[in-house]
Amino acid sequence: MVKFKPRFFMLPFATTSHHIDQITDGIAGQGYVIVPGFLPDTFIQALRNEALTLQEAGKLQRATIGKAENNQLDNKVRGDLIHWLDHADASPVQQEFSAIMETLRESLNRHLFLGLFELENHFAIYPPGAIYNKHLDQFRGNEERQVSCILYLNEDWKEEYGGQLRLYLDGKEPEPYIDTVPLGGTLVAFLSGKFWHEVLPASQPRISLTGWFRKRGSSLS
Ligand code: OGA
Ligand code: MN
């Protein structure tokens, strides 16, 4: 029997499609884009509750660094806890999020010819003090990750809590950079192979839903 999962949020088409255009234009133009209020508070709240429920159930794991074959844990490099989303077992709000991101994927492919074929994403919770050192989202020798998308799920975040995403605009150079405060509902997207970035420490737990649009790898294995 087909399991019917209702969609709860049904965003107004015009709002979402405006944001999709804004993101596509930003990526095509400067390679990155910051969109405050990408999704309404009710939607963000539902996603945040899922992240927190998973955490309470012990379903978040320490994130590792590097490729699967030599995974490492190192708090000085990366201190967040993550939970990969399972598309086959997605909640209604996750399904609706996937539908929105699918529209974005098609728009990016249509305008930028990136050949994106899927989105992989995980919830991430940074405990107070945790960081993610300056890095690129493409691992060496693997260019599958093309566009990084980070959606912040924090409630009532204040600038003094810290936890900014620092996006470097000139390769590995320390300047110039842009800081984004992880306010709930803000989405940051950028070309994964181009922008070095880091997560600054925060005084409060910092929650996000982070994903990467991937193109197919060059090997057929
Ligand atoms: C990542 C990352 C940034 C953020 O997970 O690769 O860079 O602001 N996250 O959470
Ligand atoms: Mn990253």
Locate the domains of the chain by residue range: 18-215
Ligand 1 pocket test, candidate residues 197, 207, 213, most atoms within 8 A of CB: 197
Q: What pLDDT does 70 receive?
A: 58
Q: Are 215 and 143 in contact (CB under 8 A)?
A: yes
pLDDT band for position 76 (50/70/90)? confident
Q: What pLDDT does 9 receive?
A: 63
Omega before residue 205 within 30° of 0, cis: no
Mean pLDDT (the chain, rounded): 91
Residue 2 CA, ligand 1 centroid: distance in Å = 36
Place of tokens 């999020």: 97
Residue 109 CA, ligand 1 centroid: distance in Å = 23
Helices (H), the chain: 13-29, 41-56, 92-112
The pTM of the full predicted model, rounded to 2 decimals, is 0.91
Is pLDDT above 90 for 12?
A: no
For ligand 1, residues with CB inside 6 Å are 124, 132, 137, 150, 165, 197, 199, 208, 210
Residue 107 CA, ligand 1 centroid: distance in Å = 23
- Looking at residue 141, the DSSP 8-state letter turns out to be T
Q: What pLDDT does 221 receive?
A: 44
**Calpha distance 130→203 (Å, rounded):** 9
The class level of CATH for 18-215 reads mainly beta
Looking at the chain, the whole-number percentage of residues with pLDDT higher than 70 is: 88
Q: Which atom of ligand 1 is nearest to the CA of 206?
A: 10
Distances in Å between the Cα of 107 and the Cα atoms of 22, 26, 33, 113 are: 11, 12, 15, 9
Q: Give tens-digit pLDDT for 173-204.
A: 999 999 999 999 999 999 999 999 999 999 99
Q: What pLDDT does 75 receive?
A: 74
Question: Residue type for 41, please?
Answer: D
Closest Cα partner for 20 from 6, 33, 5, 7?
Answer: 33
Q: Give tens-digit pLDDT for 34-57.
A: 999 999 999 999 999 999 999 999
Q: Which residues contact 192 (CB under 8 A, 6 or more apart)?
A: 136, 137, 138, 145, 146, 147, 148, 212
**Calpha distance 91→53 (Å, rounded):** 13
| Residue 123, both tokens | 């919830």
Strand order in the sheet with 206-215: 32-35, 187-191, 145-152, 206-215, 116-126, 81-84, 61-62
Ion ligand 2 neighbours, Cβ < 5 Å:
137
